């Protein structure tokens, strides 16, 4: 198992019921699989970063990774 810290941003917090949590997943879990485990509409446009860098859905995660999931913002 690997530990992934999931950080949610904006209204995604209200959908999932938490803003930051460390979750356990099997080794080699992909970004997509983490997203699928969350109660967030997969169709909803979002930006996902891994340790602050953009990440592709199929990328495999490593133990200790931080995944930030945000709606698309366009500025104040």
Partner 1 sequence: MKGWTGHILRIDLTTRTHKIETFGEEFAHKWVGGRGFALKVLWDELRPGIDPLGPENKLIIAVGPIAGVPAPNTGKTVVAAKSPLTGGFGDGNLGTRATEHLRKAGYDAIIFEGQSDKPIYIYIEDDKVQYFPAEDIWGKGTYDTHDYLYKIYGKGVGVLSIGQGGENLNRYAMIRSLEGRAGGRPGIGAVMGSKKLKAIVIKGSKPIPVADPEGMRKLGIEDLRKVGEINKQTGWSIQSTTGVLSWCNEVAALPVHNMRQTHHPDAWKIDGERLNNARIATYGCPNCTMRCGIAIRDHEGHESELDYENIGTLGSNLDIFELDQVGSLNYLCDDYGLDTISAGDTLAFYADAIEQGAIKGDFRFGDAEMAKKLLGMAARRQGEIGNLLADGTMRMSRAIGHGSEAYAMHVKGLEISAYNCKFCPGMALAFATCPLGGHHKDSWVITFEIKQTKRDSYGPEKAAKVIELQRIRGGLFEFIVACRFPWIELGWPLDHYPEYFNRVTGLNWSLDDFWKISDRIYALMKFFWVREFPDWDRTRDYPPMIWFDPSNADKDGPIAGQVLELDKFNQLLDHYYNQRGWDQRGIPTRKTAEALDLKDEMAEVEKYTKLE
Binding residues for partner 1 (CB under 8 A): 7, 9-11, 13-15, 19, 44-45, 47, 49, 51-54, 66, 68, 70-76
Residue 72 Cβ vs partner 1, minimum distance, rounded to whole Å: 6
Instruction: Name 12's Cβ contacts closer than 8 Å, sequence gap at least 6.
Output: 40, 46, 69, 70, 71
In this complex, which beta carbon is closest to partner 1, that of residue 26 or of residue 73?
73
In this complex, which beta carbon is closest to partner 1, that of residue 2 or of residue 15?
15
Residue 26 Cβ vs partner 1, minimum distance, rounded to whole Å: 25
- Give pairs for 47-53: CB < 8 Å, separation 24+: 47/71, 47/72
Residue 70 Cβ vs partner 1, minimum distance, rounded to whole Å: 5
Strand partners, 68: 7, 49
Three-state DSSP class for residue 25: strand
């Amino acid at each position: 198992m690997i530990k992934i810290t999931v950080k949610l941003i904006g209204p995604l917090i209200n959908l999932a019921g938490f803003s930051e949590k460390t979750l356990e997943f099997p080794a080699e879990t992909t970004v997509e699989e983490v997203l699928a485990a969350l109660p967030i509409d997969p169709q909803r446009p979002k930006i996902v970063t891994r340790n602050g860098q953009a990440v592709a859905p199929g990328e495999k995660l490593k133990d200790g990774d931080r995944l930030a999931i945000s709606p698309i913002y366009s500025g104040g």
